[in-house]
């Protein structure tokens, strides 16, 4: 059996994340989806009510949570 690895959220640093796709994760604390690119860069996305994703910067996440 393979090893299960927890991914830490790049915003809140918590392990309360789930995998939603290949290199894509969702943080249940921040309500942000994030993905790791081929060049190991982290991209953050706000999930709209219709399921569409809007790319955001790390400093914008707290503003979206208000």
pLDDT 10s digits, 49-61 = 999 999 998 888 7
Of the candidates 25, 28, 23, the one whose C-alpha atom is nearest the C-alpha of residue 12 is 28
Residue 21 pLDDT exceeds 70? yes
Q: Which residue has the higher pLDDT, 48 or 1?
A: 48
- Output the CA–CA distances (angstroms, integers) from residue 1 to 4, 48, in the order listed: 9, 36
Q: What confidence score (pLDDT) does residue 6 get?
A: 75
Going from N- to C-terminal start, the domains of the chain cover 1-56
Mean pLDDT across the stretch 18-28? 94
CA distance 21 to 36: 11
């Amino acid at each position: 059996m393979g090893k299960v690895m927890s991914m830490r959220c790049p915003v809140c640093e918590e392990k309360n994340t789930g995998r939603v796709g290949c290199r894509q994760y969702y943080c249940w604390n921040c309500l942000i989806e994030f993905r790791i690119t081929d060049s190991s860069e982290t991209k953050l996305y706000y999930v709209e009510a219709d399921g569409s994703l809007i790319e955001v910067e790390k400093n914008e996440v707290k503003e979206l949570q208000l």
